[in-house]
């Protein structure tokens, strides 16, 4: 993995403990887990017919250096968008990770 290809900055967020608002409703809080350099491998949009109507799924694949403790329970913040991590693939025995992320827009 070449450092020159890691030309994007992404923020990986972890879900914290739920807090209660003034109406005693639990709200989820996200905090920064890591800020890393990444390579944007692929960005595509596919439209599907769903049970609730048409939807467009934006799929982005990032490559990053190895980050211990990263799971699919985390999420990615990139260019003002929030992306769910759907799949993590290890590259060359802890050299890097490939993150398949998607953003669902209705």
Query: What is the per-residue pLDDT across 11-45, written as a single tens digit (0 to 9) for each?
Result: 999 998 888 889 989 888 899 999 999 999 987 76
Contact 97, 88 (CB under 8 A): yes
Work out the average pLDDT over 65-80: 95
Q: How far apart are CA 4 and CA 47, in angstroms?
A: 33
CATH of the domain at 99: 2.40.10.270
77 band by pLDDT with thresholds 50, 70 and 90: very high
Residues 91 and 23 sit within 8 Å (Cβ to Cβ) = no
**pTM score, two decimals?**
0.80
Q: Looking at the predicted structure, is the pLDDT value of residue 106 above 80?
A: no
What pLDDT was estimated at residue 53? 63
**101 and 61 in contact (C-beta within 8 Å)?**
yes
Q: Number of structural domains, the chain?
A: 1
Domain of residue 81: give its range.
Answer: 3-105
């Amino acid at each position: 993995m070449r450092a020159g290809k890691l030309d994007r900055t992404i923020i990986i967020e972890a879900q914290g403990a739920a807090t209660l608002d003034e109406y005693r409703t639990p709200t989820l809080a996200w905090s920064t887990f890591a800020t890393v350099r990444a390579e944007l491998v692929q960005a595509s949009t596919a439209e599907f017919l769903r049970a609730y109507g048409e939807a467009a799924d934006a799929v982005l694949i990032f490559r990053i250096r190895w980050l211990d403790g990263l799971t699919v329970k985390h999420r990615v913040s990139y260019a003002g968008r929030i992306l769910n991590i759907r799949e993590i693939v290890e590259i060359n025995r802890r050299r890097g990770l490939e993150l398949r992320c998607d953003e669902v827009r209705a």
